[in-house]
Amino acid sequence: MFALPVRPKLDALRHRIETLERKGAPEARAGSAFALGPLTIASGALHEIRVCGWRDAPAASGLALAISGKIAARTRKPVVFIREPRGYISIGRAYACGLSSFGVDPKDVIVVSPQSAKEALWAAEEAAGASGVGVVILEFLKPHGLLDLTATRRLQLAAEASGTTPIFLRSAGDAKPSAARTRWRIAAAPSAPDSHDLKASGNPRWRVELEKCRTGGRGAWLLEWDYETGELREAAVHGRALPEMADRSFEEIAAVA
Amino acid sequence: MAVLFPKWPTDRLKKSQPSLDQGGAPLALYERAQSALRLYALDAAAESLGLFPGQALADARAICPHLVAVEARPLEDAKAFQKLCARFMRYSPAVSVQRTGEAFVDVTGCERLFGGEAAILADLARRLEAAGFSAKIAVAGTPGAAFAFAAAGVGGVVAAPETKAALAPLPIDVLRIDAVAAERLRRMGLKRVGQLYDMPRAPLTARFGKELLMRLDQALARETEALPLLFPAPHDYAEMRFAEPISSIDAAMESARKLAGDLGETLLKAGKGGRRFELTLFRVDNQMARVSVRTSAATNSPAHIARLFDMRLDGLRSDIDAGFGFELVRLGAFETEKTPALQHEAFDRAAADAALSELKDRLSNRLGARRVCRLDLKDSHLPEHADALVPATAPPAAAVDADPGLRRPVKILSHPEEIEALAQIPDGPPARFSWRRVSYRLVRASGPERIADEWRRQENAKPTRDYYRVEDEEGRRYWIYREGLYEREAGTPRWFLHGFFA
């Protein structure tokens, strides 16, 4: 009589709850995942990149741009950059001539300069909900009360409904909970040696750790952006790749790098 | 009908600051012109003392020690003037303002409502006098003639057939020609308008340009003159009348939504879209409030228009005064152009583009057009001029491609910041530098990449720069440069931080 196996029933229920939780967002639009070097990034979801200090913000921009470039190549949709409102340490603005090295065409970039956290958050939500946008980069390193669990959940829901990929750059010191699908930590690492000039700095390298992931999995990597091929890959230290890196921690990578 | 306010700046000031009007002290407004303070406008009392615009303020004070002098604010004058002229719409919707202090109202066809042109003139004169403005008003067949009669102080209503004869004895200045031309005419003995009637036209044009005869012809109705209207009437509009006036912003928003639906449908049927929309709220007491929104691409989507107005009206809650209520709400489309049919549903790509331009509009209308920009590459090899933030709603510029061979930072400081650098050899890269009071020890450097100022900027050319890509101990990468070539351009080199690499 009770011949139905328990497992499929349970799965079906789980699936139903999941759909209900997503407030009926169509299944097909709920993002697809793609590989970026050793990383797997889901589009149509909110990602958080946390920087160890404001001096690492350019590195975080680099990773965010690498993700944007990959998404832009697939969807041909523009990137919306939301700048931090004034009042925090300024390290300038996005530079058009530097974007193309990460596969982002400056023609497909919209730069929004809000005046307050409220405006920044509003603009991010509007952009994340617009189906014509590929990636929304919200740069907000200064910890702020408005950028809380509710705000990130709203961004996540907007992204699920429209298929955009918001990336939130925030400070690692900001301990507020977040509804982001994944949370990364990043710091700059000494660059790869230049094959022509020993003294020169070569391809940029970053220490990246996946701190949190909704679907499970953690890891830490030493990543290198190859300017020539336009690809992100795991850095080879002393001539060999380090596959076991994925099991190491952020701090251990620093020792190797 | 021409309405001239020869004393507009001083009248306005006296009205806004009644204390200036008491005691009858002469009032003068001054402006800064080439580092001197010169008189800009005078009231009647000051003028009667022999002061004149353009006179140095110090001279005027010497003549009249009790002169009250206030700095002129031409922009506020112009704004207040437009506001006043908007009230002339009680006589006719065709109101035109070309210069502050000069307004034209086309009352053709409207005079019957008021009992004749003379009645309109008398009514306006009475109202302006009660408000404390000195104005000269005249009604004539053409704007040019009305202006001439008003300026000459003839006033009254001059019928079209009498215009030519009535104009003849007036001084030449009343023809709206510039002061230099008028002075030259006077020197030639041409002092009255009538003297021009029988002059051969070709020599007049050769000597005084086309403007003189154009103005004369306009005054005599030989040439038509189209005046740009202060409030142009929209080609396409939808409106809603209320038997019972509405007074809440929410009700106005609701009606805007409804009107957006109607207007969108009208535009869609005509295959058109608007780039600017204006919502006019007419108050019971003849006042009105206007709210307009701009779009980056021509649109006729009701949802989009309604959403833009929702946002605007929400932000203006405290600024819109409903008074006794609005009895008419009108939504007009301006700058309309043809739009391809079925833009929204035809293709995914088109839908995405539409969604994007709608997003730009929402962001620009709420945050301001200058805060929502795109990045345009410019044809310049100076790093700070190689790109520019341009409002996203601005028309696209000529495409310039980035040079992929150049290694450029992802972040750039809009103004390079000076750093203190210590170099091992004077013309090499630094070994450490300090920026914003923090010291950085550099372990790697590549360069220099020499960037000289553009040859076409011969004057105030900037010194040549040597750019280095440097990296500190922790792997953070910076873009720094030395200003001036060693031993050739600069004695002591100065170093600057310009950007950050990823």
When the pLDDT of each residue in chain B is averaged and rounded to a whole number, the result is 84
Calculate mean pLDDT across residues B447-455.
81
Which residues of chain A make contact with B374, given a CB cutoff of 8 A?
Answer: 107, 109-111
**Does residue A197 belong to the interface with chain B, where contact is any CB pair within 8 Å?**
yes
- Compare all CA atoms of chain B with the CA of A115 and give the residue at the minimum distance: B367
Q: What integer pLDDT is reported at residue B181 of this predicted model? A: 82
A76-107 pLDDT per residue, tens: 889 999 998 886 777 888 999 899 889 898 88
pLDDT higher than 70, residue B67: yes
A106, A127, A201 ranked by CB distance to B402: nearest? A106
pLDDT higher than 70, residue A122: yes
Please report which helix (H) or strand (E) contains residue B210, including its range.
helix B210-219
Residue B502 to residue A190, Cβ atoms within 8 A = no
Residue A95 to residue B373, Cβ atoms within 8 A = no
Residue A190 to residue B477, Cβ atoms within 8 A = no
Calculate mean pLDDT across residues B278-290.
83
pLDDT higher than 90, residue A48: yes
Q: Which of A94, A105, A102, A122 is nearest to A226 (CA)?
A: A102
**Are B41 and B72 a contacting pair, CB within 8 Å?**
yes
Q: What integer pLDDT is reported at residue B300 of this predicted model? A: 85
B392, B409, B477 ranked by CB distance to A201: nearest? B477
Q: Is residue A13 part of a domain?
A: no
B233-269 pLDDT per residue, tens: 777 888 888 888 888 888 888 888 899 999 988 888 8
pLDDT tier, B477 (very low <50, low <70, confident <90, very high otherwise): very high
pLDDT higher than 50, residue B345: no
pLDDT greater at residue A246 or residue B230 = B230
pLDDT higher than 90, residue B16: no
Residues 91-130 of A with CB under 8 A from B: 91-102, 106-107, 109-115, 119, 122-123, 126-127, 130
A194-231 pLDDT per residue, tens: 877 778 888 999 999 888 887 777 788 889 999 888 88
Q: What integer pLDDT is reported at residue B73 of this predicted model? A: 85
B346-388 pLDDT per residue, tens: 456 677 788 888 899 999 988 888 899 999 888 887 888 888 8
Domain count, chain A: 1
pLDDT tier, A135 (very low <50, low <70, confident <90, very high otherwise): very high
Q: What integer pLDDT is reported at residue A27 of this predicted model? A: 35
Task: Give the integer Cα–Cα distance in Å for B208 and B244.
Answer: 59
Q: Is residue A4 part of a domain?
A: no
Task: Give the integer Cα–Cα distance in Å for B141 and B149.
Answer: 11
Q: What integer pLDDT is reported at residue B417 of this predicted model? A: 92
Indicate the DSSP class of residue B141: S
Q: Where are the domains of chain B?
A: 236-364, 411-501
Q: Is residue A25 part of a domain?
A: no
One-letter-per-residue 3-state SS of B299-355? ECCHHHHHHHHHHHHHHCCCCCCCCCCEEEEEEEEECCEECCCCCCCCCHHHHHHHH
Q: Which of A35, A94, A37 is nearest to A61 (CA)?
A: A94
Task: Give the integer Cα–Cα distance in Å for B252 and B56.
Answer: 52
Q: Which CATH number does the domain housing residue A146 bear?
A: 3.40.50.300
- Region label for B358, one of left (φ > 0), alpha (ψ between -120 and 50) or beta (otherwise): alpha
Task: Give the integer Cα–Cα distance in Å for A51 and A60.
Answer: 7
Q: What integer pLDDT is reported at residue A118 of this predicted model? A: 92
**Above pLDDT 90, what percent of chain B?**
10
Q: What integer pLDDT is reported at residue B455 of this predicted model? A: 66
Q: Are strands B27-33 and B68-71 parallel, antiparallel or unpaired?
A: parallel
**Are A57 and A171 a contacting pair, CB within 8 Å?**
no
**Are B6 and B136 a contacting pair, CB within 8 Å?**
yes
Domain B236-364 carries which CATH code? 3.30.1490.100
pLDDT tier, A39 (very low <50, low <70, confident <90, very high otherwise): confident
* Cβ neighbours for A49, distance < 8 A, ≥ 6 positions apart: A60, A63, A64, A167, A168, A169, A170, A184, A185, A186
Calculate mean pLDDT across residues B444-468.
79
pTM above the 0.80 mark? Answer: no
pLDDT greater at residue A246 or residue A35 = A35
**Above pLDDT 70, what percent of chain B?**
95
B88: how many CB neighbours lie within 10 A of its CB? Answer: 22
pLDDT higher than 50, residue A26: no
Q: What integer pLDDT is reported at residue A79 of this predicted model? A: 94
Domain coverage including residue A210:
33-256
Task: Give the integer Cα–Cα distance in Å for B200 and A113.
Answer: 62
Q: Is residue A17 part of a domain?
A: no
pLDDT tier, B487 (very low <50, low <70, confident <90, very high otherwise): low
Q: Is residue A21 part of a domain?
A: no
**Dihedrals φ, ψ of B35, to 5°?**
60, 15
Q: What integer pLDDT is reported at residue B79 of this predicted model? A: 86
Calculate mean pLDDT across residues B111-126.
85
pLDDT tier, A238 (very low <50, low <70, confident <90, very high otherwise): low
pLDDT higher than 90, residue B130: no
Task: Give the integer Cα–Cα distance in Å for A127 and A125.
Answer: 5
Q: Is residue A41 part of a domain?
A: yes
- B115 token code pair: 């009992």
pLDDT higher than 80, residue A117: yes
CA dihedral B341→B345→B348→B349, nearest 10 degrees, is: 20
pLDDT tier, A24 (very low <50, low <70, confident <90, very high otherwise): very low
